Structure 1
Amino acid sequence: MTRGKYELRLDPDLWAYIDAVNAWYPPEIIGLPIDKQRAVYDRMSRAFHQGRPPGVTASDSLIAAAGRDIPVRRYQLGGTAAKALVVYYHGGGFILGGLESHDDICAEICAGTGFDVLSVDYRLAPEHVHPAAFDDAVTAFEWVAAATDLPLVLCGESAGGNLAAAVAQATRRHARAAIGQVLIYPELGGDESTGSYVEHADAPLLSLHDVAFYRDVRSAKRQSLDDPTFQPLRDTDFSGLPPTVIVTAECDPLSSDGEAYRDRILAAGGKAWWHEEPKLVHSFLRARTTAPAAAEAFARFVAAVAAMGKGEWSY
């Protein structure tokens, strides 16, 4: 790709990661059939997989739901008694990814916090348009809330950040409501005529065109963009939400969503923190082993999850 204004705006160490992603999953792949995109994405995810840290074990199971089963994977750290459980929703534009694509990230969250982590394999579009993924996300939360007494922390990145926020809003008055949520470069349905949507419309690895493509693929017929289960920023009530940390990348069209979501929660009397990681791009979690700035951002993210699980509510 042409680096343009991002030649100097991005952390120099990030370019090797960006070039590697584009080699595996070039921008033009968005024109291929979804099954072809998934095959390439899955191969890329395997190539980037870092393995699980020592002591982390994982077990798969199914959540029985109406007419379907939802696969989940639970990560646990041996030798420690978990003090919280993280419900994790993976990224992938609502059309890509699953338990395998984010396996190492979930395992590292488990190792870094000592908490159990439950990764949710929600249904993907276009086979299952909205609200399928949201319904699975809520069902998984309600299932784990009934199955454990551990405090619950919601977590998600990109599309998964959208789901985590939507679940937080839908379950805020649940008897076992989450004690916190940590969102990584979430897509929340912000104002595309301003802020990062304009400044970084053509950013590497995620453009405004990509955002529109993923939104259109997951939309049901006559989908209302004001549906808060579809775009959480379109809600009219942000009261009662758990303490929230939102981490975004500076060079990402979605960054302003984090700022807007923080401001809505604060205006409603809640607790929220937004941090924009400088010189990074969307999906930087996968660059954590090759770019020191991404590694530091990932460490701060894991520390935020740990703080939420302990009720410390800070970033």
Structure 2
Amino acid sequence: MTATDYEILIDAPTWAFIDATNRWYPPETASFTVAQQRAVYDRMCAAFRQPRPAGVQVVDRALGGVPCRVYEAGPSRATVLYFHGGGFVVGGLDSHDDVCAELCAATGLRLVSADYRLAPEHPHPAAFDDACAATRAAAAEFGGPVLVMGDSAGGSLAASVAHALRGRLALRGVVLIYPALGGDRSRGSYLTHAQAPMLTTADVEAYAALRHGGAEPLADPRADALRDTDFSGLPPVVIFAAECDPLADDGPDYAARIAAAGGTARCVTEPGLVHGYLRARHSVPRAADSFARIIAALAALA
């Protein structure tokens, strides 16, 4: 994919968002030390962070031994476990605080953001173990329907949790936002969008190496849901992929495997959007429209 093609695919407001992001989080950040990456990422998220909507009550507490942030906007009929993005290396409760607060306010659902352990200090399956523990504990604590959702690396965790807990916990639904699901990097969007703005295929590989301390497991659905051999028995899944993203094909591929196994899944590929567009939901009309669709999907599943 050439720069000229991206000039056609990506509109002016999205380019403005990309340029603003690069001022805080330049493309070469993936080559920084982990400590430097986290500092840069935290500053970027703080620069884009929006105030929490009025009426959202927030409490930090542990669930299943995992530090969590619980968002409530009154009595809730369901609980959503949210797993943040950041390549399994960066991010935390503050990086996605405004996203979670807005999802809570817009849907009326209780949101639980899980501060899972990060690599490389805590390699796989630490993050997965934390995500499962927080989900089980939230289900026991709050009762009622439980859903899982996440963006990027968090989308990977949400999908893997759904695979691991099927038959053990009755999940109501799964919402994945530009998820990393372990697709084949030798074909499709990993090639056509290898040099996409915001995330490259080389970035995906660098974060995977940090997560696994070297070689990646080839048949571990706890790491990548597309590595599973059984896609039956899953709750309904809605996926939102960004067109201009190396991960763009992971969503449709995952939805197709679930459908082939008799399940319910659909993937919306958002035209002209890039990885990380949740932070553009207040500045880019295309991202705002997608965020509205994410809210509607979450509310419908709940």
In the alignment, structure 1 residue 166 sits paired with structure 2 residue 160: yes
Paired residue for 2:86?
92
Show CA shifts across 1:190-239 (max 9, x none). Answer: 11122211111110000000000011100046542221111110100001
Alpha-carbon deviation of 1:3?
Answer: 4.3
Unaligned runs of 5+ in 1: 310-315
Please give the alpha-carbon distance, in whole angstroms, between the structure 2 residues aligned to 1:195 and 1:221: 24
SS of the equivalent of 2:12 reads coil
Q: Give, in whole Å, the separation in 2 of the partners of 1:48 and 1:231.
A: 29
- The secondary structure found in structure 2 opposite 1:100 is coil
d(CA) in 2 for partners of 1:59 and 1:77?
Answer: 12
In 2, distance between residues paired with 1:112 and 1:63? 24
Offset of residue 33 of structure 1: 0.7
1:228 paired residue among 221, 225, 228: 221
1:239 to 232, 239, 244: 232
What is the aligned partner in structure 2 of residue 271 from structure 1? 264
Match of 1:258 in 2: 251
- Give the counterpart letter for 2:72 in structure 1: Q
Query: What residue is the counterpart of 1:52 in the other structure?
Result: 52
Match of 1:312 in 2: none
Q: Which residue in the other structure is 2:68 paired with?
A: 72
Q: CA deviation at 1:4?
A: 3.9
Q: 1:189 and 1:59 mapped to 2: Cα distance? A: 34
Please report how far the alpha carbon of residue 64 of structure 1 lies from its aligned counterpart in structure 2 after TM superposition.
4.8
Which amino acid letter does the alignment assign opposite residue 149 of structure 2?
C
Give, in whole Å, the separation in 1 of the partners of 2:30 and 2:107: 36
Q: TM-score, normalised on structure 1? A: 0.93
Q: Percent identity?
A: 55
User: In the alignment, which of 127, 130, 135 is matched to residue 141 of structure 1?
Assistant: 135
Match of 1:103 in 2: 97
Distance in 2 (alpha carbons) for counterparts of 1:222 and 1:101: 28
Q: What's the CA shift for 1:59?
A: 0.3
Residue in 2 that maps onto 1:313 = none
Gaps of 5+ in 2: none
- Contact map agreement 2:114 2:131 (CA 8 A) in 1: yes
Paired residues of 1:11 and 1:293 also in contact (CA < 8 A): no
2:180 corresponds to which of 187, 195, 205: 187
Give me the whole-angstrom Cα distance separating, in 2, the residues matched to 1:200 and 1:256: 10
Partners of 2:186 and 2:29 in 1: how far apart? 26
TM-score (norm 2): 0.97
CA distance in 2, matches of 1:245, 1:260: 13
Q: Is residue 77–residue 114 contact of structure 1 (8 Å, CA) maintained in 2?
A: yes
Q: Deviations over 1:2-57 (max 9, x none)?
A: 94421121122101110011000001111111001101110111110001011111
Q: CA RMSD in A?
A: 1.2
User: Aligned partners of 2:250, 2:283: CA distance in 1, in Å?
Assistant: 27
Q: Distance in 1 between matches of 2:198 and 2:215?
A: 29
Alignment correspondent of 2:63: 63
Task: Give 2:125's aligned amino acid.
Answer: P
Distance 2:215 2:269 in 1: 34
